[in-house]
Structure formats: C-alpha cells, structure tokens
C-alpha cells in the first residue's frame, strides 16, 4: 500500500487515508518507507503521520532529522506533522534546539511554540526561553506574540527579556507584549509592576507599551491607563 503513495494524487490520498485508519500498526512500516522513499513518498507519509497524530510518536525522531532538508515542501510537511503529533514526544523536539544546524534549531523552536500553545504546555516553552541563545529566543518570542491568549502566562518571561543586552531581543519582546496586550487587558498588572523595576530598560519599555495600548480595544478607560502609568 505504501507503494501506492507514489501514484497520482487521488489514488495516493486513498492509500494515505487507509494507512491513517490502520494507525499505530502502520507506524513502523511508514517510518521505514519514509527513511528510504523519494520526496513524493516522504511528503505523503509525513502527511499520514500528521493525520495519525499522537499515536505516531515513534516517528518523531526520524521526522526531526528531516528538518534539515532544505526542500521547502518536505520541510513544511514534516513541520506540520510534528505539530500535529504534538506533545507525545516534546523532549525530542527540545533536544533539536541543540542541533548544530541553525535551520533545524529555528524549526524546532517554531514547532515547540506551536505544540506548547496547542496543548497548554506553555511552561515548557517558558523554561526553554530562559536557557536558549538569542536567535532561538527571537523565534520563540515572535511566535508568542502572534499566538492567542494562552501566551499570557509568558508575559513575565517576556518582560524579563526587556533586560536582554541584545537590542533585537528587547525590541522583539516589546513587540510581542504589545501584540498580546492588544488582545487582552490581563497584561496590565504585569506592566504596571514592571514600571517599578530597577532596570531602566524595563521601566521605559513598560511605559511605552502602556502608552501604546488602545484603551477601547481592551475596554480600559483612558484615564485608568494614564493613572497606571503615572502612579503605578
């Protein structure tokens, strides 16, 4: 059946759907076929593994190895598969953050962020944010800024990054906080607290962010925002 994945799209989709229904029992065969198949086969198998989801956790290490593939279509398919497989093997994704290939590290950061937000495992992401180089931090912070309200738990860590010696990291963190603040007023207490920080970079950034918040978007009366900045 795996050979059928090489055929035209309508047939290969039927084959992939059948393999998806077989599920866990097909994983070993899919992994082997993925290792030695051409790009067409690997593309379809990655899609099948993604559709199988968490039960395909045994394929995570093989898929991560493929993140180094510069073929955009393969890389995109593998990335989506790893996100769909999700939290079943987060340690393997975390380990990929140590990969010598910068492309792999960046991809792993993207995948880990998506998994953390999808599964409410945000604390894992926060822990990794503290211990990574600035390149990885920028990737993770960007993803947090573009995410939904689950990212609110990362606000203290993002505020901490406002102290980073790297200006790009600081600006990226500030932008992410602004993006999250545009969706919820729950960032306000954190920012008010940051106004009292001993670090001038943090205080100034917090003030700028508070001044930039659109009160109407968060149902916050302008007078309250002004008071928070003045007396917080």
Return the closest-CA partner of residue 196 out of 207, 186, 187: 207
Token pair recorded at residue 134: 């600035």
Q: Which of the 8 DSSP states describes residue 147?
A: S
What does the pLDDT read at residue 64? 92
Q: How far is CA 199 from the centre of its chain?
A: 29
Return the closest-CA partner of residue 155 out of 186, 116, 199: 186
What does the pLDDT read at residue 20? 52
The string of pLDDT tens digits covering residues 44-99 is: 889 888 888 888 889 999 999 999 888 889 999 999 999 988 877 788 888 888 88
H or E element at residue 76: helix 72-85
* Mean per-residue pLDDT over the chain, rounded: 80
The string of pLDDT tens digits covering residues 178-227 is: 999 888 888 888 998 898 899 999 999 998 888 777 655 555 656 556 65
Residue 4: pLDDT above 50?
A: no
Q: How much is the average pLDDT of 92-112? A: 85
The residue to which tokens 């998506």 are assigned: 114
Token pair recorded at residue 91: 């340690």
Residue 18: pLDDT above 50?
A: yes
The residue to which tokens 């203290």 are assigned: 156
Residue 127: pLDDT above 60?
A: yes
> CB–CB of 24/32 below 8 Å?
no
What does the pLDDT read at residue 171? 95
> CB–CB of 107/79 below 8 Å?
yes
Residue 121: pLDDT above 50?
A: yes
């Amino acid at each position: 059946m795996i050979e059928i994945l090489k055929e035209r799209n309508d047939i290969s989709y039927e084959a992939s759907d059948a393999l998806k229904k077989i599920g866990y029992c097909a994983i070993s065969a899919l992994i082997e076929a993925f290792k030695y198949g051409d790009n067409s086969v690997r593309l379809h198998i990655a899609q099948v593994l993604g559709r199988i989801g968490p039960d395909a956790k045994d394929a995570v290490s093989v898929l991560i190895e493929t993140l180094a593939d510069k073929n955009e279509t393969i890389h995109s398919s593998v990335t989506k598969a790893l996100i769909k497989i999700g939290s079943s093997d987060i340690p393997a994704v975390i380990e990929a953050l140590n990969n010598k290939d910068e492309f792999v590290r960046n991809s792993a950061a993207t995948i880990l962020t998506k998994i953390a937000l999808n599964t409410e495992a945000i604390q894992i992401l926060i822990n990794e944010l503290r211990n990574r180089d600035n390149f990885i931090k920028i990737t993770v912070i960007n993803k947090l800024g573009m995410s939904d309200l689950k990212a609110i738990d990362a606000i203290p860590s993002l505020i901490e990054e406002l102290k980073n010696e790297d200006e790009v990291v600081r600006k990226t963190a500030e932008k992410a906080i602004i993006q999250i603040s545009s969706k919820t007023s729950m960032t306000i207490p954190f920012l008010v607290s940051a106004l009292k920080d001993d670090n001038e970079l943090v205080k100034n950034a917090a003030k700028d962010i508070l001044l930039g918040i659109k009160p109407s978007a968060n149902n916050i009366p302008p007078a309250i925002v002004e008071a928070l900045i003045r007396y917080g």
